[in-house]
Amino acid sequence: MSQGVEVVGLYVRDQDEALAFYVDKLGFRVHTDVRNGDYRWLTVQHPDQPSFQLGLFTPGPPVLDAETAQTLRAMVAKGAMPPLVLNVDDCRAAHDRLRACGVEFTQEPVDRYGHVDAGFRDPSGNGWKMIQSRRASH
- Residues at the site binding another protein, with contacts judged by CB under 8 A: 13, 70, 73-74, 76-79, 83, 85, 104, 106-108, 112-113, 117, 119, 121, 124-125, 129, 131
Contacts of 29 (CB under 8 A, 6+ apart): 23, 44, 45, 47
In this structure, are strands 53-57 and 127-132 parallel, antiparallel, or unpaired?
unpaired
Instruction: Report in angstroms how near the CB of residue 68 gets to another protein at its nearest.
Output: 12
| Rounded-to-integer distance, Cα 121 and Cα 54, Å | 15
Asked if residues 122 and 28 have their Cβ atoms less than 8 Å apart, the reply is: no
Instruction: Report in angstroms how near the CB of residue 41 gets to another protein at its nearest.
Output: 22
Count the alpha carbons within 13 Å of 12 in the hemisphere toward its beta carbon.
23
Instruction: Report in angstroms how near the CB of residue 29 gets to another protein at its nearest.
Output: 26
Looking at beta carbons only, is 27 or 123 nearer to another protein? 123
Looking at beta carbons only, is 53 or 132 nearer to another protein? 132
Contacts of 103 (CB under 8 A, 6+ apart): 21, 25, 26, 120
Instruction: Report in angstroms how near the CB of residue 111 gets to another protein at its nearest.
Output: 10
Looking at beta carbons only, is 30 or 75 nearer to another protein? 75
Looking at beta carbons only, is 13 or 40 nearer to another protein? 13
